[in-house]
Amino acid sequence: MKLHIKKGDTVIVNSGEFRGQKGTVLQVLVKKNRAIVEGVNIVSKAVKPSAQNNEGGFVKKEAPIHISNLMLICPETGKPTRIGRKKVEVNGVERLVRYSKKSKDQKEIK
């Protein structure tokens, strides 16, 4: 399944408890339609003592957030944008590239 968000994208949360927060996508969970965004949806998780963590206790970490609540931020304008896809021929091979629908020149988003 093709998603409008990739690892490394800068996104903004457009609905829910964390509305308006920005962050970088750390991981995309394709089968669950969720993404883990840096600094958003932080939860406290109880951890048992182990070899790496002798004391255990509570650890704060990011929890997944649904893809539909995220919107990509255009690298050129710095504003939230919708994403489109188009076929572009590169060296005789057609590729599907993402582009920002907000910017008029519709350059490829990397």
Give per-residue pLDDT as tens, 23-43. Answer: 999 999 999 999 999 999 999
Residues 53 and 86 in one domain: no
Task: Show the domain range for 48.
Answer: 1-73
% of residues, the chain, pLDDT over 90: 52
Residues 45 and 19 in one domain: yes
Residues 87 and 100 in one domain: yes
Residue 1 has pLDDT above 70, yes or no: no
Residues 41 and 88 in one domain: no
Residues 31 and 51 in one domain: yes
Backbone φ and ψ for 43, nearest 5 degrees, come out as -125, 155
d(CA 94, CA 30): 24
d(CA 37, CA 30): 14
Domain count, the chain: 2
Residue 105 has pLDDT above 70, yes or no: no
pTM of the shown model: 0.81
Residues 53 and 80 in one domain: no
